Amino acid sequence: MPQVIRTTNDLIVNSLYLLGELGVAETPDAFMLSTGLDLLNELIDKFAADSIYIPFLTSVNFVMVVGQGTYSISDMIPADINADRVVDLSFANYIVAATGPTNLVYPIRIINKATYYGVVRQDGLLARPGFVFLDKQPLESFVTFYPLPDQPYPCELKLKVMINELAAQDTLQELPPNYYGFLKYALARKFLAYYPSGNWPQVNEDEYQDYYMTLKNVNETDLTIRPSVIITAPEPFYWPNILSY
């Protein structure tokens, strides 16, 4: 079954269907679409103030700088990498040019800050990066690699980022399904100020509140979703041992 590609406009239309302001096969007018986009971005700002961030999967490609282990990521303030703030790291790879027809792609193991700062390590070590961790801040995020890159390796990060703003016809295929439903109900509820005669029964309000409380109570995403090396490694937990795995 082919995947349905949803866009920002589709989300606006579906919220108007939910409210009863559009019927099947009816086309939204320009006011509905422009107002819906404005309201949607207002909601994203409001939810961010309530610590509800709308996640979105994306990839970032950049070239490492020799000897630089930490890179800032933001589209709100000047940063090393211009992208939305990062919620979570899915995977990280770097590329080594090969003498043959294809390059070699190496994975970088994702760890958390406690693992990095809680072990013995050699500062300033230049080598191929083997580990990376994420540090989230209000206006920017940081990714730190260890060891420091000894060459300008091309790097790819698969990220779950925080949506700061949406534009008309933006593709939402990487938006988690539960967040799509949440935004649909939230936008329909917001449209009530413009269409007070809209159909918003108590069951819709209950559904919205259920979405809201579920996402509001979600704990901050942690990166320790894999077994700790401390538990699985038979040797003492030092960086030279880890690098040999």
Flag whether pLDDT at 231 surpasses 70: no
Report the percentage of the chain scoring pLDDT > 70.
Answer: 87
> Which pLDDT value is given to residue 3?
52
Write down the pLDDT at residue 222.
Answer: 37
Which residue, 3, 6, 60, 2, is CA-closest to 172?
6
pLDDT reading at 234 higher than 60? no
Q: Give the per-residue pLDDT at 218.
A: 65
Tens of pLDDT, residue by residue over 163-222, are 878 888 888 877 877 888 999 999 999 999 999 989 999 999 999 999 998 888 764 443
Residue 89: CB atoms within 10 A of its CB come to 20
Taking the C-alpha atoms of residue 37 and residue 185, their distance in angstroms, rounded to an integer, is: 14
Neighbours of 64 (CB within 10 A): 19
The mean per-residue pLDDT over the stretch 226-235 comes to 36
Q: Among 2-16, 114-128, 143-157, 207-221, which is the least confidently predicted range?
A: 207-221
Residue type, 238: Y
Q: Is 231 helix (H, G, I), strand (E, B) or coil?
A: helix
Q: What is the pLDDT of residue 175?
A: 80
Cβ neighbours of residue 146 closer than 8 Å, sequence gap 6 or more: 69, 116, 121, 125, 129, 130, 131, 132, 239
More reliable by pLDDT, 238 or 42 = 42
Lowest mean pLDDT among 37-46, 69-78, 89-98, 159-168: 159-168
Residue for token digits 């990714």?
143
State the Cα–Cα distance between residues 39 and 108, nearest whole angstrom.
40
pLDDT band at 1 (very low <50, low <70, confident <90, very high): very low
- pLDDT > 90 fraction of the chain, expressed in percent and rounded: 49
